[in-house]
Amino acid sequence: MSKISIFISDLTVGGAIATGVAIVIYNSLWLFFIYKKVRVHPFTLSYLKAGLAGLVSIALVFFGLDYIFPHPSILIYVLAFFLFAVLYSILSLSLGVLDSEDLMIFNAVERKLGIDLGFVRRLIKKFI
């Protein structure tokens, strides 16, 4: 691999990082401006809880499976996905991420699809 191709690939990654940082800064400033003018913001504490549940789940699954299986196969990735989904669901329910609006959306989807998931609805109501 020549030095020029390494340099170009570094520029591509640097450009992607710069674009991502610029978008985050722009949206943060816009959010600050909106909050300053009308004292309204679209986020609640449940967003922070969901992010925390996701980060903890990713960290536990990634580092746990990386420690146990240093050379993973596709089967390990499938296992990691299901392990993450179960862990995230448990953490989300225990942290109280779901709101009454989430239950309303669940009921609307249930009606639209014409299915009855009463056990899931009861589980959600228990943790709201």
Residue by residue, DSSP assigns 31-77 as HHHHHHHH---S--HHHHHHHHHHHHHHHHHHHHHHHH-SS--HHHH
Residues 83 and 111: beta-carbon distance below 8 Å: no
First vs last Cα of the chain: how many Å apart? Answer: 56
92, 53 Cβ separation under 8 angstroms: yes
* Contact indicator for 78, 52 with CB cutoff of 8 Å: no
Going residue by residue through the chain, which has 128 residues, state the pLDDT in tens, using 9 for 90 and above.
555 555 556 667 777 888 999 999 999 999 999 999 998 888 888 889 999 999 999 999 988 888 888 887 888 889 999 999 999 989 988 888 888 888 888 889 888 998 888 877 787 777 77
**Count of C-beta atoms within a 10 Å radius of residue 50:** 17
Closest-CA residue to 95 (of 53, 43, 44): 53
Tokens of 97: 């991420």
Helix (H/G/I), strand (E/B), else coil: 101:
helix
pTM over 0.85: no
Residue-level length of the chain: 128
